[in-house]
């Protein structure tokens, strides 16, 4: 019998209802999902269906109305250093340099010191930002800003990275390039990743598994294990070389269309 590993993320029967003066909004209904350590899972679904809500729940920023969420076997009860969160907007502080922005997470955790600063310097150079440490965000391209945001997320060394439409604000060429790069970095560092995107191609290109959500209230309508006959897995080769790519795309497109 293979030894059972503790899931990186375990979501069980989660329901989320927002209450506001205008009434109730049911965002998620009966969501159950297990993510294995080092797995790269994408979540696709129509706009407004509840994707970001699901990430905020995993990040411990909000609490579910019912059901439970566990990170590495422990119930989520607020934000955890095991989880890093990267958003569509890079949210870099304009008055801070690249280095100062990249250090924010460590600063908040009280772990800013000479050693961690040197590690962030190494990350910046690994991500092609050597020479830009003292630049300000306005002096960088969109792709570079997203790389700084990724360094900031990785600097605290989380096991689990939550990415909410991280490439949505980039032009198409930059997006393909950054997708490739970020995918490689996350896999090399053996992170567990949950990526939210409305881009079906991106989800297939980057992931081991794609979860398809219905319109709000979101339920899981399909799951696809992405098996591409490629020697080495990369987002670009998945898009360009894998014959299975189109088949997955058509299938997921149909699922989203039927449930739109």
The residue ranges that bind ligand ADP (CB under 6 A) are 18, 20, 25, 27, 45, 47-53, 216
Query: In terms of CB distance, is 123 or 200 closer to ligand ADP?
Result: 200
Looking only at the bridges linking them, the beta strands covering 66-71 and 9-20 are: antiparallel
Distance of closest approach, residue 79 Cβ to ligand ADP, in angstroms: 17
Neighbour tally for 214: CB within 10 Å: 20
Neighbour tally for 1: CB within 10 Å: 3
Query: In terms of CB distance, is 53 or 192 closer to ligand ADP?
Result: 53
Distance CA 221, CA 50 (A): 13
Query: In terms of CB distance, is 20 or 225 closer to ligand ADP?
Result: 20
110: exposed, middle or buried (Cβ count in 10 Å: 0-12, 13-18, 19+): exposed
Q: Is 131 helix (H, G, I), strand (E, B) or coil?
A: coil
Distance of closest approach, residue 26 Cβ to ligand ADP, in angstroms: 8
Would you put residue 30 in left (φ > 0), alpha (ψ -120 to 50) or beta?
left
Query: In terms of CB distance, is 43 or 154 closer to ligand ADP?
Result: 43
Query: In terms of CB distance, is 18 or 91 closer to ligand ADP?
Result: 18
Distance of closest approach, residue 160 Cβ to ligand ADP, in angstroms: 18
- Cα 33 to Cα 13, 14, 71, 201, 220, distances in angstroms: 9, 9, 12, 22, 9
Residue 159 main-chain phi, psi, to 5 deg: -75, -30
Distance of closest approach, residue 51 Cβ to ligand ADP, in angstroms: 3
Distance of closest approach, residue 43 Cβ to ligand ADP, in angstroms: 9
Query: In terms of CB distance, is 48 or 131 closer to ligand ADP?
Result: 48
Closest to 204 (Cα-Cα) out of 246, 259, 146, 162: 246
Query: In terms of CB distance, is 60 or 137 closer to ligand ADP?
Result: 60
Distance of closest approach, residue 178 Cβ to ligand ADP, in angstroms: 20
Distance of closest approach, residue 48 Cβ to ligand ADP, in angstroms: 4
- Cα 133 to Cα 24, 47, 102, 124, distances in angstroms: 46, 36, 9, 8
């Amino acid at each position: 019998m293979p030894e059972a590993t503790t899931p990186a993320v375990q979501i069980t029967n989660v329901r989320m209802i927002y209450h506001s003066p205008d009434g109730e909004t049911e965002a998620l209904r009966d969501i159950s999902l297990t993510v294995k350590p080092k797995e790269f899972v994408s979540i696709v679904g129509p706009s407004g269906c509840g994707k970001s809500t699901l990430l905020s729940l995993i990040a411990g920023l909000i609490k579910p109305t019912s059901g439970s969420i566990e990170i590495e076997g422990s119930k989520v009860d607020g934000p955890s250093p095991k989880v890093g969160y990267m958003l569509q907007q890079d949210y870099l502080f304009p008055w801070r340099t690249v280095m100062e922005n990249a250090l924010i997470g460590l600063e908040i955790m009280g772990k800013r010191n000479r050693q961690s600063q040197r590690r962030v310097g190494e990350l910046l150079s690994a991500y092609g930002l050597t020479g830009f440490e003292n630049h300000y965000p306005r002096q960088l391209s969109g792709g570079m800003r997203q790389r700084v945001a990724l360094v900031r997320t990785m600097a605290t060394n989380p096991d689990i990275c939550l990415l909410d439409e991280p490439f949505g604000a980039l032009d198409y060429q930059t997006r393909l390039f950054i997708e490739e790069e970020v995918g490689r970095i996350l896999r090399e560092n053996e992170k567990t990743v949950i990526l939210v995107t409305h881009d079906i191609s991106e989800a297939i290109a980057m992931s081991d598994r794609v979860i398809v959500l219905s319109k709000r209230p979101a339920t899981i309508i399909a799951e696809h294990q992405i098996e591409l006959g490629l020697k080495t897995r990369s987002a670009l080769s998945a898009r360009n070389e894998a014959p299975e790519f189109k088949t997955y795309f058509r299938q997921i497109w149909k699922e989203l269309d039927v449930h739109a």
